[in-house]
Amino acid sequence: MSEPALLGKVAVVTGGAAGIGYALAEGLARRGAAVLIADRDGAVAAAARLRAAGFSVEGIAADVSSEDDTAAMAEAAERLFGGIDILVNNAGIYATLTPRPFEALDVAEWRRVLDVNVIGTFLCCRAALAGFRRRGGGRIVNISSGVAFKGNPYMAHYVASKGAVVSLTRALATELGRHGVLVNSVAPGFTLSDGVMKNPVLVAGVKEPSLRNRVLARDMLPEDLVGAVCFFAGPDAGFITGQTLVVDGGAYFH
């Protein structure tokens, strides 16, 4: 029987306490990785659930928009597991947003979305870089969104933030290749995550059009993203960098 593909690797998953992030943390752990879950709330409890299932997982409270928190996250990965091999930048603001015309969006909300979705991704990558260098390379998987390519209405700040994540992925791939760090992104379609299900206005406005526009006409669940993220994190993606893989059931062909 072959060894798990990620045995001996250390992965950090931001926003990993619930929803998509939790599914990704579990998927990486099932493939043999030791996982550090970083989230503003619930990271320690989420890690405990996965440890109870037999996985090597720890949790740390962290706000990805904080320089101090992202530095502490990287330090915790070093202390608990000896380093970082895989960084999954999943933390982001979406499920709490209410769709509105762009002229109705206030500047404070714009700044908060960009602080978490874009600056947070940058800060996490920067915090992990020293650890990647010490280990001779690594993988960064950024969670972007299909909206970056479709230009969905009534979420201009979110669409702009995810477009920035796609562009940042490309820029970092170019810059970090010499360090052996591969940088890719996965762009989900509308996903029925825990947070999304708590926002009935969002579900009412987006679920039906998403189903109608998919080739695979079913709801998208967090588990649908696990394979793509683990592929980019694993040995089969060793010569792929700067790419974005859309996972949305065929709503957008990229």
- Angle at which helices 43-52 and 19-30 pack, to 10 degrees? 40
Instruction: Find the domain containing 227 and state its range.
Output: 10-247
Q: Is residue 135 part of a domain?
A: yes
Residue 2 CB coordination number (10 Å)? 5
Dihedral sign for Cα atoms in the order 165, 196, 100, 210: positive
Q: Is residue 2 part of a domain?
A: no
What is the per-residue pLDDT for 55? 98
Taking all residues of the chain, what is their mean pLDDT, rounded to a whole number?
Answer: 97
In the predicted structure, residue 239 carries a pLDDT above the cut 80: yes
Q: Is residue 3 part of a domain?
A: no
What is the per-residue pLDDT for 83? 96
In the predicted structure, residue 1 carries a pLDDT above the cut 70: no
CA-based nearest residue to 241, from 187, 189, 180, 161: 180
What is the per-residue pLDDT for 104? 96
Q: How many Å apart are CA 167 and CA 39, to the nearest integer?
A: 24
Number of domains in the chain: 1
- Exposed, middle or buried, 204 (CB in 10 Å: 0-12/13-18/19+)? exposed
* CATH number of the CATH domain containing 70: 3.40.50.720
Residue 82 CB coordination number (10 Å)? 13
Instruction: Dig out the tokens for 25 from the structure.
Output: 């943390």
Q: Is residue 216 part of a domain?
A: yes
Tens digits of per-residue pLDDT, 18-57? 999 999 999 999 999 999 999 999 999 999 999 999 999 9
Q: Is residue 217 part of a domain?
A: yes
Entry pTM: 0.97
Q: Are 81 and 10 in contact (CB under 8 A)?
A: yes
What is the three-class DSSP state of 247?
strand
Q: Is residue 4 part of a domain?
A: no
β-sheet bridge partners, residue 38? 14, 60
Supply φ then ψ for residue 59, to 5 degrees.
-130, 150
Q: Is residue 5 part of a domain?
A: no
Q: Residues 22, 94, 154, 158: which is the catalytic one?
A: 158
What is the three-class DSSP state of 10?
strand
β-sheet bridge partners, residue 239? none
Q: Known catalytic residue: 252?
A: no
Q: Is residue 38 part of a domain?
A: yes
Q: Are 30 and 50 in contact (CB under 8 A)?
A: no
Q: What's the rounded mean pLDDT across residues 197-209?
A: 92
In the predicted structure, residue 3 carries a pLDDT above the cut 90: no
Q: What's the rounded mean pLDDT across residues 156-185?
A: 98
Q: What's the rounded mean pLDDT across residues 58-76?
A: 98
Tens digits of per-residue pLDDT, 86-101? 999 999 999 999 999 9
Strands 10-14 and 34-39: parallel
In the predicted structure, residue 2 carries a pLDDT above the cut 90: no
Q: How many Å apart are CA 208 and CA 210, to the nearest integer?
A: 5
